[in-house]
C-alpha cells in the first residue's frame, strides 16, 4: 500500500486471477476421491448486465464464441430475481477442463471489454450419489473460492457441514475465501 492510500485509509481491491479457474479440474479429482463429489457438467458466470448496445454486443460475441466452437457446449442465459444474469454452460461431466476454459473465456471477454466491475462470480456445481449438491463459487472481486451447498428439500437452508468439509479438503489446492461473511448464498443458481 502506498503512502497516500495509507493516509486516506484506502486500499486497492484485490485483482481477480481468472487463471485460478484452471485449478478447478485438479480440485474436482480431489473432491471425487476424498468426498465422492463429481462435476455435474454445468458451470455458470453471474454478472449484472449493463444497459446499452455495447454490452448487448459483447454478450452476443461471448455467446457466438462459445456456440461456434468445434466442440460447442450447450449455452443458456437467464436472469434471477435479484436482476443478475447467469450465463450457463453445459458440457459432458468428464470435461471439467473444457468447462473451466469456457467460463474463463466468458469472464476475460467481459473484463477485456470494460465490464469487469459487473462480474459477480463463477460457479462449478458438484453432486454425490445421494443427491447432495455443492457449488464451487469463484468470487471475481476477491479472487477466491468458497463452497455453497443448499440442503436438498429444506427450502433455503445450507449444508454447513458439507461446505466446511469441501473448504478443508480444497484448502491446499485453491485460494479459499477466509472471510465467511463473503460466503454468499446463491439460491436458485443454475445447476444447483
Cell of 185: 448464498
| Cα distance between the two ends of the chain | 39
pLDDT of 5 > 70? The answer is no
What the chain holds in terms of domains, given with CATH numbers, is 14-182 (3.30.70.600)
Which of the pair, 33 or 19, is modelled with greater confidence?
A: 33
Residues in CB range of 178: below 8 A, 6 or more apart:
144
- Greatest extent of the chain over all pairs of C-alpha atoms, in Å: 54
Neighbours of 98 (CB within 10 A): 18
pLDDT in tens, 29-57: 999 999 999 999 999 999 998 888 888 89
pLDDT in tens, 82-121: 889 999 999 999 999 999 999 999 999 999 888 889 999 9
pTM for the whole structure: 0.87
Amino acid at each position: 500500500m502506498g503512502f497516500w492510500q495509507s493516509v486516506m485509509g484506502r486500499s486497492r481491491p484485490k485483482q481477480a486471477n481468472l487463471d485460478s479457474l484452471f485449478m478447478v479440474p485438479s480440485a474436482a479429482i480431489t473432491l471425487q476421491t476424498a468426498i465422492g463429489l463429481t462435476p455435474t457438467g454445468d458451470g455458470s458466470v453471474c454478472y449484472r448486465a449493463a444497459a446499452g448496445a455495447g454490452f448487448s454486443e459483447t454478450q452476443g460475441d461471448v455467446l457466438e464464441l462459445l456456440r461456434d466452437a468445434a466442440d460447442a457446449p450447450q449455452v443458456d442465459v437467464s436472469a434471477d430475481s435479484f436482476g443478475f444474469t447467469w450465463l450457463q454452460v453445459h458440457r459432458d461431466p468428464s470435461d471439467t477442463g473444457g468447462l473451466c476454459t469456457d467460463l474463463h473465456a466468458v469472464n476475460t471477454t467481459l473484463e477485456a471489454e470494460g465490464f469487469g466491475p459487473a462480474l459477480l462470480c463463477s460457479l462449478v456445481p458438484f453432486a454425490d450419489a445421494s443427491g447432495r449438491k455443492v457449488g464451487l463459487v469463484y468470487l471475481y472481486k476477491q479472487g477466491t473460492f468458497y463452497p455453497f451447498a443448499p440442503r436438498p428439500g429444506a427450502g433455503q437452508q445450507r449444508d454447513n457441514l458439507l461446505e466446511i468439509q469441501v473448504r478443508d479438503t480444497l484448502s491446499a489446492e485453491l485460494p479459499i475465501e477466509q472471510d465467511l461473511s463473503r460466503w454468499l448464498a446463491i439460491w436458485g443458481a443454475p445447476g444447483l
